[in-house]
Amino acid sequence: MRKSCRFLVVMLTSCLFLTTVFAQNVTVSGNVRNNSSQEVVPAVSVVVKGTSTGTFTNSDGDFTLSVMKLPVTLVFSSVGYDNYELTVSDASAKIQVDFKPNISLGQEVVVAANRTPTRILESPVTIERMSTNTIRNVAAPNFYDAITNLKGVDMHTASLTFKTPTTRGFLGSGNIRLNQLVDGMDNQAPGLNFSVGSIVGPNELDVDNVEMLAGASSALYGSGGMNGTLLINSKNPFKYQGFSFNVKQGIMHINDESGQKPSPYYDWSFRWAKAFKDKFAFKIAASFVTANDWVANDDRNKQQLGVLSKVVGGNRGNDPNYNGVNVYGDEASANMMQFAQLAIAQAPSALVNAANAYFGPLGTYPTNAQVGAFIAGFPAAQQPSVQQFLPFYIGATKGYFGNGNVSRTGYDEKDLVDYNTINARFTAALHYKITPGIEASLSSNFGTGTTVYTGADRYSLRNLKMAQHKLEIRAKSWFLRGYTTQENAGGSYNATALGVYINSKWKSNQTWFGQYIGTFSETRRQTMANLSDAQIHMNARAAADQGRLLPGTPAYEAAMKEGRSVPISQGGALFLDKTDLWAGEGQLNLSDVGKFSDKVEVIVGANWKQYVLNSGGTLFADTAGNIKINEYGSYI
């Protein structure tokens, strides 16, 4: 009983002490306005001078701050305004602050240069930046499209929602020379090896600023930063609170040369953030985009050299080996002379010797009677195979083929690729201030959708899913973060492989080329050069294309559906990718900790990444199991 009483006394005393402490807190509130326009100024930093205790003004310019005692000196700061100090001795009245705009250049604060807040004017490298106001007023469908307006930046457009910023003249889809980081997380799809900043990440309402370091930045941001680094920073819920909803709508394909009918474009997004007593805050944001993408209909001829290609003259009508830029399935090609020679090499030697003896003395164009007589000299059971053999033999020995190549008839991209563009993104974050100067956060970004990507081939990314989760603890002079990227290619497929698969489905390459080359040889022999090569090629293609699956027919749709479900490793077009990335990194500003930042800036940091490759053999040689790749780095 005595112990219980002692415990009760201690608890009551503690409560009384805590009550006394909290009773000493004083709440200071006020409003910040532009002294020129009298408009409210949101997201203004309000800090007790000499401490890390502070808050931000809300969308109405209001702020509330709890301090231990009066008087206190408050420091007001924001990009585009002069810093303002105010000593508060009485908390009974609401403070009114008239903020003076500052039109001086170079006052914006960036972090891309050295991973610490630095004024642009003092940055050792050139930084291009888009602020919140710039993003809000940009004349572009979204903030990502507006990146192309930054100095020294080019934008590669693969489709409506898949765009890649590049610098230093290296214009290419999925630019691997430029890092893209969203709140410090590598935005690259770890297995597909391209950044997905416009598909997964914060929506426009949740973007605080965008910084482009258009130069080598590998020391701070990793080997992918040979040509630069793009930083996309989302809004902190302590600083930006409230609910926002945005609707963008438009019409696409008006007077479209490809023949597409006008169709709507929808982009809906929202953001909601709330802070509680400047200790805990959360935010959720989402967006949804849907439209009918533009049709890639470039039918120019190209010459393929491995993964590289170049545009050459010719079309399907005058080039038997035509390979259209946006035509797929015509990549299957054969040399007519080599194909015929292979057929001869596979024939019985007795048949070849007999043909040499019989056709050798004859002229360039043996008659039907001469050919029939040769076939009749064989037993009836052998005559069909002899008849199949002769077009290749006569064409090769009489010089019909030259050194010409022929390709299969391909399918237009519009008949293979899903242009129904959809992109849904969701972001959620929890922030907690451990102390006034140390903040912990847990955030997640999720994105899914359908789009088209251009690499060595054209890829239809159908139901692509990607999620990023991050845990971070940050202070003014240091940070620690760990994050993971989880990728799922969904039903994505290679359009080129799909075209090849459909062609092979209705007729194998061996059969098709055999019919083409055999018909070409027979047509030349029987017409005795009275027809042009172009006419003979057209006749041969018409014969070989008999039974071809036509787009829109049930048989074609069934073959396309099957090809999209068969993995590339099994001859289909589907690529499987569930690759993961695990990463951890930290940084410490020794100059701030050692209090010698006025003399020299010293920053140290380190990171670790692990890629867990999982493609089922469709992208990597990982049929035996997942492949793990570890990467380590440090800097000073």
User: pTM for this structure?
Assistant: 0.81
Q: What percent of the chain has pLDDT over 70?
A: 91
Task: Classify each residue of 484-508 as buried b or exposed e, where b means 16 or more C-beta atoms within 10 Å of its C-beta.
Answer: bbbbbbbbbbbbbbbbbbbbbbebe
Q: What pLDDT digit, counting tens, does each position of 203-250 carry?
A: 999 999 898 887 777 767 777 777 788 889 999 998 888 899 999 999
Q: Give every CB contact of residue 611 below 8 A, 6+ residues apart in sequence.
A: 190, 579, 580, 581, 627, 628, 629, 631
> In whole angstroms, how large is the CA radius of gyration of the chain?
35
Q: What is the mean pLDDT of the chain?
A: 87
318 DSSP assignment: T
Q: What domains does the chain contain, in order, with CATH numbers?
A: 2-99 (2.60.40.1120), 109-295+417-492 (2.170.130.10), 302-412+506-569 (no CATH)
> Mean pLDDT, to the nearest integer, of 446-452?
93
> Which residue from 388, 333, 370, 320 is spatially nearest to 538, judged by alpha carbons?
320
> Which residue from 428, 436, 478, 434 is spatially nearest to 55, judged by alpha carbons?
436
Per-residue pLDDT at 221: 74
Q: Give every CB contact of residue 81 below 8 A, 6+ residues apart in sequence.
A: 41, 44, 99, 100, 101, 102
* Separation CA 635–CA 115 (nearest Å): 12
Q: What pLDDT digit, counting tens, does each position of 368-388 carry?
A: 999 999 999 999 999 999 999
> Mean pLDDT, to the nearest integer, of 178-194?
87
Per-residue pLDDT at 96: 93
513 pLDDT exceeds 70?
yes
Query: E strand or H helix at 385, and its extent?
Result: helix 383-397
Three-state DSSP state, 396: helix
* Separation CA 598–CA 44 (nearest Å): 26
The more confident residue out of 314 and 598 is 314
Q: What pLDDT digit, counting tens, does each position of 36-45 carry?
A: 889 999 888 8
Distance of CA 476 to the CA centre of its chain: 32
87-90, long-range: CB < 8 A, 24+ apart: 88/28
Per-residue pLDDT at 104: 55
283 pLDDT exceeds 90?
yes
447 pLDDT exceeds 90?
yes
Q: What pLDDT digit, counting tens, does each position of 598-618 carry?
A: 788 888 999 999 999 999 898
Per-residue pLDDT at 437: 86
563 DSSP assignment: H
- Please report, for residues 54, 109, 146, 209, 270, the alpha-carbon distance to residue 46 in angstroms, rounded to integers and kept in the order given: 5, 16, 31, 20, 27
* DSSP character string of 500-549: HHHHHHHS-HHHHHHHHHHHHHHHHHHHTT-S-HHHHHHHHHHHHTTTPP
pLDDT tier, 5 (very low <50, low <70, confident <90, very high otherwise): very low
The answer to whether the CB of 41 falls within 8 A of the CB of 34 is yes
pLDDT tier, 12 (very low <50, low <70, confident <90, very high otherwise): very low
* Separation CA 120–CA 462 (nearest Å): 41
* Separation CA 70–CA 89 (nearest Å): 5
> Mean pLDDT, to the nearest integer, of 535-540?
95
Helix, strand and coil content of the chain, in percent to the nearest 5, comes to 25, 40, 35
406 pLDDT exceeds 80?
yes
The answer to whether the CB of 267 falls within 8 A of the CB of 409 is no
> Which residue from 380, 372, 374 is spatially nearest to 351, judged by alpha carbons?
374
489 pLDDT exceeds 60?
yes
Query: E strand or H helix at 27, and its extent?
Result: strand 26-34
> Sign of the CA dihedral 55, 59, 62, 64?
negative
* Separation CA 362–CA 420 (nearest Å): 61
The more confident residue out of 575 and 59 is 575
The more confident residue out of 119 and 477 is 477
Q: What pLDDT digit, counting tens, does each position of 44-89 carry?
A: 889 888 777 788 888 889 998 888 888 999 999 887 788 899 999 9
264 pLDDT exceeds 80?
yes
Please name every residue paired with 213 in a beta bridge, in sequence order, or none if there are none: 127, 229
